[in-house]
Amino acid sequence: MTIAIGERIPQGTLQIMTADGPAKTAAAELLGHGRVVLFAVPGAFTPTCHAKHLPGFIREAAALRARDVQRIVCLAVNDVFVMDAWGKAAGAGGDVVMAADGNGDYTRALGLELDARGFGMGLRSQRFALLIEDGVVRAVHIEPPGQFGVSSAESVLASLGG
């Protein structure tokens, strides 16, 4: 079942790259404190994800912070090394946390998995964005298949009001 407004984020573990190498991080630690935007993409370096989705959140990071978003997290069903390389290539720096869900376990717990076997990509994440406040989902923006718009940084920013 897909996560819904008012629900707590599920328990789980994600991986992020640190100065000391890959680190397992509890989802509650990464997503459960303050106001967080979690956005997910079907795959690192894939065309729309690389050209539009991640760059939009990097570009709008300051505007999101001005609306009390303490953390922006990019999630993909990729390994932590790919997510780290993608973040560096895109210039995510300290603006966007690149979180790996290598086996797709957290994506499944959210109920937002995508069967991309027809494209040779296996299990992936749907394209979406969640606004989370202290571990509770406050907004859900899920893209229809093949679309990009409602989960964009600009759309999420507009939904926060001004």
pLDDT of residue 145: 86
Helix (H, G, I), strand (E, B) or coil at 101: coil
Eight-class DSSP state of 117: G
Q: What domains lie within the chain, and their CATH numbers?
A: 13-159 (3.40.30.10)
- Model confidence pLDDT, tens digit, residues 22-56: 999 999 999 999 999 999 999 999 889 899 999 99
Q: CA 125 to CA 107: how far, in whole Å?
A: 6
Q: Active-site positions?
A: 49
- Distance between terminal CA atoms of the chain? 32
Give me 22's structure tokens: 């890959």
pLDDT of residue 162: 61
Global pTM?
Answer: 0.96
* Single-letter amino acid, residue 131: L
pLDDT of residue 132: 98
Q: CA 80 to CA 101: how far, in whole Å?
A: 8
Give me 78's structure tokens: 């990729």
Give me 159's structure tokens: 């939904």
For residues 63-79, give the mean pLDDT.
97
